[in-house]
Chains A and B, each alone.
Chain A
Amino acid sequence: MSSMQSQAQYVLRTVEERGVRFVQLWFTDVLGRHKAFHVTPAELEDALDQGMTFDGSSIDGFSRTSEADVLARPDLTTFQLLPWYGEGAGIARVFCDIVNIDGTPFAGCPRQRLRSVLASAHEQGYNFYVAPEIEYFYFSGENASGRPVPIDRGSYFDLTTDDVASQLRRRTVLTLEEMGIGVEHAQHEDAPGQHEIDLRYTDALTMADTVMSVRHVIKELARQAGVVASFMPKPLEGVQGSGMHTHLSLWRDDKNAFIGDGPYGLSEVARHFLAGLLHHAPEITAVTNQWVNSYKRLMPGAEAPVGVEWARHNAAALVRVPSVKTTRIDSTRFEYRSPDPAANPYLAFAVILAAGLRGVNGAYDLPAEGERVAALPQSLGEAVDLMSKSELLLETIGEHQVEWFLRNKRSEWDAYRAQVTPYELERYLPLL
């Protein structure tokens, strides 16, 4: 029996045995927003066999109207019962790849773009592992002027409200573990109401799926507790924003390819990878930081990177090379610090890997530690301009998604620029 068949058998039997009543077919649009169909067990067999047809033109960044119909094809290895609906609710999920009616990969599907970048790395013998740190805020509501109120500043020293946040985080971690998602640790972050969940490394495709699941679980459990969780990169002025620092390593023949005899125990491959990451960082920033608001986090003095440089200790550097214990050299890795948790994880991991691999294949020279070789774009407008000239992005995420992305992001930037803000009125009206 083929592996596909036995996986299908496993899924169908589990659906029967566990009394599953709905299966959610999960996928993401180009901006990384979570989409889902709900199918009943009766429809599932067909969905597993042939995929579910839907009109892609209604999904952001999917088909142009002339090629509207696409198929969501379940990736059976990701079938999982969802624990937060309670015992006996019988709801499961499975991630889908989007394919054309003829079965070929659909150009607008971010998951398959990541898959193809991983495949080309794999052809060179490399496996790519990532471990993101996901920061986010819990808000209990809005104040009179419509600003969000962090859950643990709503009332100072108020044990009850503070408890809600830590209980919520604990419940979230336990739910993630029930789903088999490894959490390295979870903690309260610097800003009021800000929390962080660090995930244990997996291969990049699994991790992109995991990031989608984690965001969903955090939001869903917060909703159940009557609070709002947000991954907005910079929801509050004057305190640090939410990033998604991402730890990266490249493996070859079951060995960490970053380990070597160079400074900080880095290999040639590691140095070239790092050089590639730095060289291409400005052009991939539109993907790793895709919202107008993302650039309000990338400001000096907020522990977020602004310049393209690498360092061992400097928290404002774009790439950090963490110290590694001599007994743990397998954890040799880079920490890429610009991405935020509102990025599309599939595309973000794809472009990060592609940038690094360019460095490896082109044997790029690594700049000195602490040397600022370029600046990151300071606004979405600037980032999108860099993206439009990037041959790397065209190759990595494909013409279909680049074109749509540029159109969507230019219009977002223009809509933002057209605003006359309270800041301007307050400052200029009395003066000018």
Chain B
Amino acid sequence: MTDVVLCVPSCEGPVKKAFEVTGVTPVVSVSGRLNEITALEPAEGFAGAVINASAFPFSEAMSLCRQLRSRERSSGPVILLLDHYQLDDLTFREDLFDDFVVGPFDVSELATRLRHRLRRSGNDTVAQRIDHGGLSMNLETYQASIAGRVMDLTFMEYELLRFLATNPNRVFTRETLLSRVWGYEYYGGARTVDVHVRRLRAKLGEEHAHLIQTVRSVGYKFGTATEFDVS
């Protein structure tokens, strides 16, 4: 059985040839909408996706990549086809795709990348995450949730939480946190750490506020255990 690869929004010219050379079956979604894609999806799922971002608005292409990634069922590796001028727009969005090819498209390059990506897809790369006691942080998308509820964090709240959660059960002084997380002298001084901890605890909610524990006369630590005595 040949692999079925999603192709958005068309499969023509060099792209079509590359599919033929690779020996995979293209399934074309013209609209690039998720409901159409789901309707077209074969029982065994897509082995990968080729999205031609030069053929429709870039933001829509990114939004499709994001939707594919957040589906429960994997869509396999995502290869973007781009115009040269779109390269800058890839910055900070590297986690949304697995590979890209810049036009004008060369059939053998396209075919090679497609084959290579499909073969490697056995070892899927998973977004870097932190999961601790109900807290879940996706380090690529900068999103954090607690017990399934998304938390709306400011940048420094996010950075502080990430730092603490990547070093669970280690105690940090306010000064250490200030220099490691803020990285520069800030008007707030070390009490700024207290203020941010308080805000984070408020956002974590009463039930999970204990994840950030005060270690009296020292500082703070991230702990999943509740037995820690703060007194």
Contact = CB atoms under 8 A, between A and B. Distances in A.
A244 interface: no
Contact of B190 (A10, A78, A254): A254
Interface in A181-209: 181-182, 200-203, 205-206
Nearest to A174: B202
A145 interface: no
Nearest to A79: B154
Contact of B141 (A17, A81, A180, A182): A17
A77 interface: yes
Contact of A254 (B59, B62, B63, B175): B175
A119 B198 contact: no
A105 interface: no
A180 B155 contact: no
Interface string B92-135: 10000000000000000000000000000000000000000000
A101 B82 CA distance: 36
Interface string A1-12: 001001101111
Interface stretch (B4-12, B13-21, B48-56, B180-188): B180-188
Given A79-B154, A127-B188, A12 B92 contact: yes
B188 A206 contact: yes
B42 interface: no
B34 interface: no
A178 B195 CA distance: 15
Given A17-B141, A180-B200, A254-B174, A11 B195 contact: no
A81 B155 CA distance: 12
Given A127-B188, A203-B189, A178 B141 contact: no
Contact of B199 (A7, A14, A119, A181): A181
A7 B142 CA distance: 11
B108 to A, nearest CB: 34
Interface string B165-189: 0000000001100000001100111
A182 B198 contact: yes
B142 A129 contact: no
Contacts of B184: 3
A203 B191 contact: yes
A205 B199 CA distance: 16
B199 A180 contact: yes
Contacts of A254: 174-175, 189-191
A313 interface: no
A118 B187 contact: yes
B143 interface: yes
B202 A177 contact: yes
Contacts, number: 87
Given A80-B154, A254-B190, A13 B199 contact: no
B150 interface: yes
Interface in A48-105: 76-81, 83
A121 to B, nearest CB: 8
Given A80-B152, A83-B152, A10 B158 contact: yes
Interface in B33-70: 59, 62-63, 66
Given A79-B155, A182-B198, A203 B174 contact: no
A200 B158 contact: no
B191 A200 contact: no
Contacts of B188: 127, 202-203, 206
B174 A180 contact: no
A283 to B, nearest CB: 25
B218 to A, nearest CB: 13
B175 A16 contact: no
Nearest to B152: A81
A372 B62 CA distance: 68
Contact of B66 (A7, A9, A16, A80): A16
B147 interface: no
A34 B200 CA distance: 26
Interface in B140-156: 141-143, 150, 152-156
A165 B199 CA distance: 26
Contacts of A80: 152, 154
B210 interface: no
A122 B192 CA distance: 14
A18 interface: yes
Nearest to A121: B187
Contacts of A181: 199, 202
B203 interface: yes
A79 B158 CA distance: 11
B91 to A, nearest CB: 8
Given A77-B156, A80-B152, A182-B199, A9 B92 contact: yes
Given A81-B152, A180-B200, 15 more contacts: A12-B92, A77-B156, A177-B202, A178-B152, A178-B203, A180-B157, A180-B199, A182-B195, A201-B195, A202-B195, A203-B189, A203-B195, A206-B188, A254-B174, A254-B189
What are the 6 A-B residue pairs with the smallest beta carbon separation, nearest first? Answer: A180-B199, A127-B189, A81-B152, A203-B188, A177-B202, A254-B190
Interface of B: 59, 62-63, 66, 92, 141-143, 150, 152-158, 174-175, 183-184, 187-192, 195, 198-200, 202-203
14 contacts: A3-B184, A6-B155, A7-B155, A10-B155, A17-B142, A18-B150, A78-B154, A122-B187, A180-B153, A181-B202, A251-B191, A254-B174, A254-B175, A254-B191
